[in-house]
């Protein structure tokens, strides 16, 4: 449960809010690299942390992320002409470079220096992996570039998609932290999905519906361990790392690629869910890539030409009541991503956490809320560098293992969560 004041504190990420200031201390995914495929390609509208921006790739291949609206009289630069190393407003020809600097005002007389004093808000936009990342905070606190493993492995080992979710970022993140729903909501996926099935862990998952949760505090966030019964004398552990503020990894299954998410606020009532799959030790197979592109695993199908899921709230997520009745699908909604998204959106744009009745398996969520609040207030009150900014905190893996019942999570975690380049993740 959260009081109204704390719910507001944790869910609002616009400029000047405590949580907005916290987010602005990290590199955040702003676009997929595929959205700006070529020099001088069409610009893309980007809304992130409630700021309306436009991204473009100029004639020299430089990426820019600038205020969406022309400094002249506020027309959207999404209509702009991306040409000759700048984005030109089609209204009166004002032209801006990737730093937001106005470089030309055609109607000004020869010799005018007016444009030198016109500059739009601009943020750095950098390609790491297949993601274009931005940093929207004070320039003097710009961190090192992200080092999450999914963007540091060779490109053929990683795949990333994104989808629009019509809810606040926090209820989406909380779904990534809470793995107890998997045995219910995603039970059909554990049996059928080509990117999930075949793991012995799935059997433990489906047989033990009352996992015991243990949470380990680490410098960058939390390790959330779900413990289920395995064979006599052993536990099956699934361990989810959460790195502040909005990165989670799903524990792996067998030799399938391991996946995870970034939950990026668009505004307070929408977020982008960046969804990645990678294998630390081998290229993804064509069959795996085909399954991901088709919307299997944690990915999804799209309304053509958009990043909106094909199954969305306007069509009741294409719920199949017959499949639900037959038991083919626990919720009747197809696909793991949309099973999650449909329920998280159903809570409303910003869920009222003052009415919750939480249980012991929510311990990861509860502790994450404490940690987010502490980080936001420590930044506000004393300028403390938030957890997760240090790239060492980002080099972490999820894992799944079977271990004797007398081995505590604290003993399992250090080796199993460490990133070892070229070495496969710990998985059963």
Partner 1 sequence: MAVKVVVDLDKCLGYANCVADAPEVFEIPEEAMIVRLLQESPGEELRSAVEAAALDCPARAITILD
Q: How far apart are CA 422 and CA 32, in angstroms?
A: 25
Distances (CA, A) of 343 to 169, 321, 333, 339: 14, 15, 10, 7
Q: How far apart are CA 50 and CA 65, in angstroms?
A: 14
Q: Based on CB atoms, which residue is closest to partner 1, 97 or 178?
A: 178
Q: Based on CB atoms, which residue is closest to partner 1, 373 or 380?
A: 373
Smallest distance, partner 1 to C-beta of residue 371, A: 11
Q: Which of 50, 47, 45 is nearest to 13 (CA)?
A: 50
129: its two tokens: 């992996």
27: its two tokens: 């590199």
Q: Based on CB atoms, which residue is closest to partner 1, 85 or 361?
A: 361
Smallest distance, partner 1 to C-beta of residue 3, A: 5
Smallest distance, partner 1 to C-beta of residue 5, A: 5
Smallest distance, partner 1 to C-beta of residue 314, A: 34
Judged by DSSP in three states, 119 sits in strand
The DSSP secondary-structure symbol of 302 reads B
Can you give the binding site for partner 1, defined by CB under 8 A?
Answer: 1-6, 356-360, 362-363, 366-367, 369-370, 373
Residues contacting 402, CB < 8 A, separation 6+: 201, 204, 230, 231, 234, 235, 236, 237, 428
Smallest distance, partner 1 to C-beta of residue 318, A: 35
Smallest distance, partner 1 to C-beta of residue 189, A: 27
Judged by DSSP in three states, 416 sits in helix
Residues contacting 294, CB < 8 A, separation 6+: 301
Smallest distance, partner 1 to C-beta of residue 185, A: 21
Number of helices (H), then strands (E), in the chain: 13, 19
Smallest distance, partner 1 to C-beta of residue 6, A: 6
Smallest distance, partner 1 to C-beta of residue 368, A: 11
Q: Based on CB atoms, which residue is closest to partner 1, 334 or 369?
A: 369
Q: Based on CB atoms, which residue is closest to partner 1, 264 or 379?
A: 379
Strands (E), 136-211: 158-165
Q: Based on CB atoms, which residue is closest to partner 1, 209 or 358?
A: 358
Distances (CA, A) of 137 to 21, 198, 361: 7, 44, 35
Q: Based on CB atoms, which residue is closest to partner 1, 353 or 395?
A: 353
Q: Based on CB atoms, which residue is closest to partner 1, 287 or 360?
A: 360
Q: Based on CB atoms, which residue is closest to partner 1, 218 or 323?
A: 218
Judged by DSSP in three states, 407 sits in coil
Smallest distance, partner 1 to C-beta of residue 169, A: 19
Distances (CA, A) of 287 to 155, 241, 290, 299: 16, 27, 5, 14
Q: Contact 25/42 with Cβ under 8 angstroms?
A: no
Q: Based on CB atoms, which residue is closest to partner 1, 130 or 362?
A: 362
User: Following CA atoms 278, 284, 289, 295 in sequence, which dihedral angle do they give, to the nearest 10 degrees?
Assistant: -30
């Amino acid at each position: 449960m959260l009081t109204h004041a704390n719910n507001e504190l944790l869910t609002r990420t616009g400029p000047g809010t405590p949580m907005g200031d916290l987010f602005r201390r990290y590199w955040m995914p702003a676009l997929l690299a595929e959205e700006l495929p070529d020099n001088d390609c069409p610009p893309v509208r980007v809304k992130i942390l409630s700021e309306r921006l436009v991204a473009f790739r100029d004639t020299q291949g430089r990426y820019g992320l600038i205020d969406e609206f022309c400094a002249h009289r506020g027309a959207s630069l999404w209509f702009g002409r991306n040409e000759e190393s700048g984005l030109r407003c089609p209204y009166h020809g004002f032209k801006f470079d990737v730093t937001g600097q106005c470089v030309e005002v055609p109607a000004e007389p020869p010799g005018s220096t007016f444009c030198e004093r016109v500059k739009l808000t601009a943020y750095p936009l950098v390609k790491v992996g297949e993601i274009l990342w931005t940093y929207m905070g004070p320039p003097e606190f710009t961190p090192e570039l992200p080092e999450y493993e999914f963007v540091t492995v060779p490109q053929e080992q990683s795949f990333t998609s994104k989808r629009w979710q019509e809810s606040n970022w926090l209820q989406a993140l909380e779904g990534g932290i809470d793995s107890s729903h998997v045995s219910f909501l995603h039970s059909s996926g554990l049996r059928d999905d080509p990117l999930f099935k075949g793991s012995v862990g799935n059997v433990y998952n489906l047989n033990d519906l009352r996992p015991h949760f243990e949470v380990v505090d680490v410098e960058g966030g939390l390790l959330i361990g779900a413990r289920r019964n395995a064979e006599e004398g052993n536990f099956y552990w699934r361990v989810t790392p959460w790195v502040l503020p909005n990165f989670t990894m799903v524990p792996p299954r067998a030799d399938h690629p391991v996946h995870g998410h970034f939950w990026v606020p668009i505004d307070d009532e929408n977020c982008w869910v960046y969804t990645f799959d990678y294998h630390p030790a081998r290229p993804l197979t064509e069959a795996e890539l085909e399954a991901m592109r088709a919307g299997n695993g944690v990915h999804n199908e799209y309304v053509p030409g958009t990043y909106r899921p094909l199954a969305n709230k306007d069509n009741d997520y294409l719920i199949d009541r017959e499949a639900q009745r037959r038991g083919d699908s626990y919720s009747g909604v197809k696909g793991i991503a949309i099973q999650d998204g449909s329920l998280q959106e159903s809570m409303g744009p910003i869920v009222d956490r003052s009415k919750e009745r939480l249980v012991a398996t929510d311990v990861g969520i509860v502790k994450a809320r404490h940690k987010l609040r502490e980080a936001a207030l420590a930044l506000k009150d004393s300028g403390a560098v938030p957890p997760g900014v240090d790239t060492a905190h980002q080099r972490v893996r999820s894992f799944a293992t079977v271990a004797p019942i007398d081995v505590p999570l604290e003993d399992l975690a250090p080796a199993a969560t460490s990133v070892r380049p070229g070495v496969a993740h710990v998985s059963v």
